């Protein structure tokens, strides 16, 4: 934290009136303006009308961070230059220059997105903390050029949940501790874009950028009640974002509306010489941009949506817990009442081959050579190796010259006391399994040989076949109906029985998330929609129409803000997760 800036900013916040009384942290007015839950368009209007300056916004958000961050652990560092950048944007505005819809609006990025300035980027780890990359993440450069004010970095699950694959808590990092869910601080934030999601939800900022390899946008978006799009990898440059997996990673906007998500997409998409996968996305953007695809609920009339019933709508854990099934089925009814044609997909052969019926991971009987973990483990080792080529530590640092995941894992082992083996080591990172994912990556030697291509190729082919065929509903008489999207329950606790991440991750296909309700532990959940490759424009249409129908926006009440300790607590009643089921990343209902 840059405490002098924060304290000065806190004084600004202290003297103003409160806009609402939700729990112990009501959101203060900002210079008399109710910026709580404001959209990009509303913020831009106040800036245009002169009711607020960009500097006001930065000060109000910094005051909010100062007030709430010790409970939420959602911000790892604020940008010491934020107020100066805001002043520059205000000066440009005064001289009549408006760069676009983001001009003067603060945004936050996840801690694995490198910003070339005075504050650290470290992927939530201690092992990377203090290093610098060769150049700024392309998407950050674009957001800055569009007038965005970089407010800081959000916390994250350490190494984007790529450090350990069991015995860890999502949202935890050895750098910043456990990120808390403002709806119920004993409950999970899901991973790994936890900080940015919590920050937007608790009004520490209006918009943020996260990343996803396997669930890291859509899971926390569900758990915190936000909108996002996890895109086809390559739609946006991944340059300057710590690599988890070349073939699966993608950044994505997190916001309180599909409109805000789309405005950010429009700024971030496009080709980048530093990321070859962006060349393949050329020509797949909608002609007038993504924001032009935002529609209202009238667009639901005649829309064709599929529900994969078996597996998924009948089997995933969240829908079978508490009263949730009734709530989910009421949502289906609401969609039907709004004119959606619902197609009940009772089986899909490709889907059943590759995903566990309970949500996460593979089916138990998958052929060992097809396990996608082989691809993830290999790509992690390859990715860090490439990342470290352009990541430089100071010459007097013991990590100077560090060049491989193996060396990172060794450094972690040698620094147990600072890398999260807290107390007796049974919390968060178990000392023995505290970096099981790193260790599995190291064991591949980063060799992209036959084992890698077999697992990756089969997984990508089968998952694409599953999503493509889910979109082609075959009637009894053989007529094929092309669907506009495939809808899944996006239940809480992400990595414990949720169907949103696996198939699209394996396939490299997009997903949208829409919040729709809260369950008996006071935390949100929602729906996610699978799209086809580069189907983001259609996803914006489907998700924005649903947004207008459901209009869910319940404020967090910060339950247990003063008592929550340790890692987040037990799963929602109805899940039966055993150690062995969690190791294969799923729970039985």
Contact call for residues 17 and 31 (beta carbons, < 8 A): no
CB of 545 to ligand NAG, least distance (A): 19
Show the site string, 487-506: x = touches ligand NAG by CB under 6 A, - = not.
--------------------
The CA distances from residue 133 to 116, 210, 237, 385, in Å, are 8, 18, 16, 13
Smaller CB separation from ligand NAG, 98 or 522: 522
Contact call for residues 194 and 220 (beta carbons, < 8 A): yes
For position 393 contacting ligand NAG by CB under 6 A, the verdict is: no
CB of 510 to ligand NAG, least distance (A): 22
Cα separation of 529 and 300, whole Å? 14
User: CA Rg, the chain, in Å?
Assistant: 22
Site for ligand NAG in 447-466 (CB under 6 A): 447
Smaller CB separation from ligand NAG, 282 or 364: 282
For position 298 contacting ligand NAG by CB under 6 A, the verdict is: no
Q: Which stretch in 6-14, 116-124, 260-268, 506-514 sits in contact with ligand NAG by CB under 6 A? A: 116-124
Q: Which residues of 90-105 are buried (b: 16+ CB within 10 A; e: fewer)?
A: bebbeeeeeeebbbbb
Smaller CB separation from ligand NAG, 30 or 159: 159
Cα separation of 462 and 352, whole Å? 10
Contact call for residues 441 and 377 (beta carbons, < 8 A): yes
Q: Which stretch in 115-123, 208-216, 225-233, 491-499 sits in contact with ligand NAG by CB under 6 A? A: 115-123
Cα separation of 138 and 136, whole Å? 6
Smaller CB separation from ligand NAG, 107 or 428: 428
Torsion angle defined by CA atoms of residues 406, 192, 290 and 105, in that order, rounded to the nearest 10 degrees: -100
For position 193 contacting ligand NAG by CB under 6 A, the verdict is: no
Cα separation of 208 and 325, whole Å? 31
For position 413 contacting ligand NAG by CB under 6 A, the verdict is: yes
For position 216 contacting ligand NAG by CB under 6 A, the verdict is: no
Smaller CB separation from ligand NAG, 34 or 132: 132
Token pair 């529900």 in the structure block, residue: 307
For position 204 contacting ligand NAG by CB under 6 A, the verdict is: no
Smaller CB separation from ligand NAG, 94 or 273: 273
Cα separation of 196 and 109, whole Å? 7
For position 522 contacting ligand NAG by CB under 6 A, the verdict is: yes
Q: Which stretch in 137-145, 444-452, 498-506, 578-586 sits in contact with ligand NAG by CB under 6 A? A: 444-452
For position 274 contacting ligand NAG by CB under 6 A, the verdict is: yes
H or E element: which one contains 163? none
CB of 336 to ligand NAG, least distance (A): 9
Cα separation of 84 and 570, whole Å? 44
Smaller CB separation from ligand NAG, 51 or 134: 134
Which of 4, 15, 95, 424 binds ligand NAG (CB under 6 A)? It is: 424
CB of 376 to ligand NAG, least distance (A): 14
Site for ligand NAG in 46-75 (CB under 6 A): none
For position 118 contacting ligand NAG by CB under 6 A, the verdict is: yes
Contact call for residues 554 and 225 (beta carbons, < 8 A): yes
H or E element: which one contains 544? helix 536-550
Sequence-distant (6+) residues with CB within 8 A of 103 are 44, 47, 89, 92, 93, 146, 147
Sequence-distant (6+) residues with CB within 8 A of 574 are 317, 320, 321, 322, 324, 589
Phi-psi category of residue 570: left, alpha or beta, with phi > 0 → left and psi -120 to 50 → alpha = beta
- Residues in binding contact with ligand NAG, number by CB under 6 A: 38
Cα separation of 571 and 575, whole Å? 7
Task: Name the token pair of 303.
Answer: 């829309």
Which of 344, 403, 418, 553 binds ligand NAG (CB under 6 A)? It is: 344
Task: Name the token pair of 316.
Answer: 């995933």
Smaller CB separation from ligand NAG, 227 or 452: 452
- Of 104, 110, 49, 98, give the one whose Cα is nearest residue 82: 104
Task: Name the token pair of 509.
Answer: 């296909």
Q: Which stretch in 28-36, 356-364, 422-430, 530-538 sits in contact with ligand NAG by CB under 6 A? A: 422-430
DSSP string, 432-495: TTTTHHHHHHHHTTT--SHHHHHHHHHHHHHHHHHHHHHTEEEPTTS-EEE-SEEEEEE-TTTT
DSSP 515: E
Task: Name the token pair of 386.
Answer: 């490439």
Task: Name the token pair of 561.
Answer: 């803000």
For position 387 contacting ligand NAG by CB under 6 A, the verdict is: no
As annotated, the active-site residues are 110, 192, 216
Which of 8, 29, 87, 332 binds ligand NAG (CB under 6 A)? It is: 332
Smaller CB separation from ligand NAG, 226 or 374: 374
- Of 392, 410, 409, 418, give the one whose Cα is nearest residue 114: 392
CB of 530 to ligand NAG, least distance (A): 17
Cis peptide before 311 (omega within 30 of 0): yes
Contact call for residues 266 and 145 (beta carbons, < 8 A): no
For position 390 contacting ligand NAG by CB under 6 A, the verdict is: yes
For position 326 contacting ligand NAG by CB under 6 A, the verdict is: no
Smaller CB separation from ligand NAG, 419 or 584: 419
Q: Which stretch in 15-23, 46-54, 171-179, 342-350 sits in contact with ligand NAG by CB under 6 A? A: 342-350
CB of 411 to ligand NAG, least distance (A): 11
Show the site string, 119-148: x = touches ligand NAG by CB under 6 A, - = not.
xx--------xx---xx-------------
For position 404 contacting ligand NAG by CB under 6 A, the verdict is: no
Which of 3, 20, 48, 276 binds ligand NAG (CB under 6 A)? It is: 276
Smaller CB separation from ligand NAG, 8 or 522: 522
Cα separation of 568 and 172, whole Å? 9
CB of 250 to ligand NAG, least distance (A): 16
Q: Which chain residues interact with ligand NAG by CB under 6 A?
A: 2, 77, 80, 118-120, 129-130, 134-135, 184, 186-187, 274, 276, 307, 309, 332, 342, 344, 346, 390, 413, 416-417, 423-424, 426-427, 431-432, 444-445, 447, 521-522, 559, 569
């Amino acid at each position: 934290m840059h405490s002098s800036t924060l304290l000065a900013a806190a004084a600004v916040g202290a003297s103003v009136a409160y806009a609402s009384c939700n729990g112990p942290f009501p959101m203060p007015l900002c210079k008399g303006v109710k910026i709580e839950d404001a959209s990009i368009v509303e913020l831009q209007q106040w800036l245009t009308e002169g009711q607020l300056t960009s500097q006001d916004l930065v000060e109000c958000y910094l005051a909010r961070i100062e007030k709430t961050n010790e409970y939420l652990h959602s911000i790892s560092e604020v940008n010491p230059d934020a107020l100066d950048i805001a002043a520059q944007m205000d000066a440009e505005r005064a001289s009549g220059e408006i760069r676009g819809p983001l001009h003067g609006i603060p945004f936050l990025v996840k801690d694995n997105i490198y910003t070339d300035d005075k504050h650290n980027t470290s992927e939530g780890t201690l092992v990377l903390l203090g290093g610098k990359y060769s150049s700024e993440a392309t998407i950050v450069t674009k957001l800055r050029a569009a007038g965005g004010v970089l407010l800081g970095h959000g916390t994250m699950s350490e190494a984007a949940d790529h450090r350990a694959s069991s015995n860890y808590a999502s949202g935890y990092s050895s750098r910043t501790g456990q990120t808390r869910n403002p709806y119920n601080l004993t409950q999970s934030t899901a991973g790994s874009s936890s900080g940015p999601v919590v920050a937007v939800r608790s009004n520490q900022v209006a918009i943020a950028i996260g990343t996803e390899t396997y669930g890291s946008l859509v899971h926390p978006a569900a758990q915190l009640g936000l909108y996002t799009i996890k895109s086809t990898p390559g739609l946006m440059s991944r340059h300057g974002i710590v690599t988890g997996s070349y073939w699966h990673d993608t950044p994505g906007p997190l916001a309180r509306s599909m409109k805000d998500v789309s405005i950010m997409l429009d700024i971030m998409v496009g080709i980048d010489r530093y990321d070859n996968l962006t060349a393949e996305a050329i020509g797949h953007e909608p002609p007038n941009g993504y924001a032009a695809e935002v529609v209202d609920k009238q667009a639901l009339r005649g829309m064709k949506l599929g529900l994969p019933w078996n597996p998924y709508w009948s089997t995933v854990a969240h829908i079978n817990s508490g009263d949730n099934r009734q709530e989910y089925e009421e949502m289906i009814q609401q969609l039907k009442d709004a004119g959606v044609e619902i197609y009940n997909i009772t089986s899909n052969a490709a889907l059943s081959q590759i995903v566990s019926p309970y949500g996460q991971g593979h089916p138990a009987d998958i052929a060992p050579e097809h396990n996608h973990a082989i691809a993830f483990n290999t790509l992690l080792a390859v990715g860090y190796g490439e990342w470290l080529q352009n990541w430089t530590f100071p010459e007097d640092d013991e990590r100077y010259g560090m060049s491989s995941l193996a060396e990172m894992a060794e450094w972690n082992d040698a620094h147990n006391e600072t890398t999260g083996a807290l107390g007796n080591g049974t919390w968060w990172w178990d000392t023995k399994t505290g970096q099981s994912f790193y260790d599995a990556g190291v064991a591949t030697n980063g060799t992209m040989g036959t084992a890698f291509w077999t697992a990756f190729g089969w997984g990508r082919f089968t998952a694409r076949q599953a999503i493509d065929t889910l979109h082609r509903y075959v009637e009894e008489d053989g007529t094929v109906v092309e669907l506009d999207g495939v809808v899944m329950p996006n239940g809480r606790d992400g990595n414990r029985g949720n169907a949103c991440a696996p198939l699209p991750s394996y396939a490299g296909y997009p997903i949208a998330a829409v919040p729709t309700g809260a369950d008996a532990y006071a935390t949100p959940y929602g729906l996610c929609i699978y799209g086809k490759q580069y189907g983001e424009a259609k996803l914006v249409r489907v998700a924005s129409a649903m947004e207008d129908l459901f209009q869910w926006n319940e404020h967090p009440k910060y339950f247990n803000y003063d008592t929550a300790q340790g890692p987040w607590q037990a799963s929602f009643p109805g899940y039966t997760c055993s150690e062995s089921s969690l190791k294969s990343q799923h729970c039985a209902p």
